[in-house]
Amino acid sequence: MNGWTGRPAPGGPGAGERGTGGPDGLGEDYLDGNALAGPLSEVFLIDMTSARGRCDSCGAVSAIAEARLYVNAPAMVLRCPSCSGVLLRVRRDGGQAVLDLRGFSYLTIDLG
């Protein structure tokens, strides 16, 4: 596409942002949770993709980085690699991030 610029949009950060972390718009229909590192870095001070979570649906435990991330939706949706249950949703609403973590029974976070 022509006309890209590295400068921010007049509407400020996040205005009209789409396709976050995508495989350049084509190909497979999901990414892995590694691609959540950037969006979650705006909310958490430590990297959350290394956190291990228990799926509230099936009980499988996996790192956020290992789960399946779907980005072609109004929110980014993370699904369990074992049962495909929704683990996490995150979307931006103006200057706010809306984070839905109800798919996890718990998260184990390495504090280093």
User: Which residues in this chain contact other proteins in the complex, by CB under 8 A?
Assistant: 1-11, 13-28, 30-35, 37-38, 41-43, 46-47, 49-50, 63-66, 95, 97
CA 91 to chain centre: 9
Least spacing, CB of residue 24 vs other proteins, in Å: 4
Least spacing, CB of residue 44 vs other proteins, in Å: 11
Of residues 23 and 59, the one with the C-beta less far from other proteins: 23
Neighbours of 51 (CB within 10 A): 19
According to DSSP, the β-strands at 86-93 and 52-55 are unpaired
- The whole-angstrom separation of Cα 25 and Cα 7 is 21
Of residues 14 and 100, the one with the C-beta less far from other proteins: 14
Least spacing, CB of residue 60 vs other proteins, in Å: 12
Least spacing, CB of residue 9 vs other proteins, in Å: 5
Q: What are phi and psi of 38, to 5 degrees?
A: -65, -55
Of residues 17 and 105, the one with the C-beta less far from other proteins: 17
Element spanning 55, H or E: strand 52-55
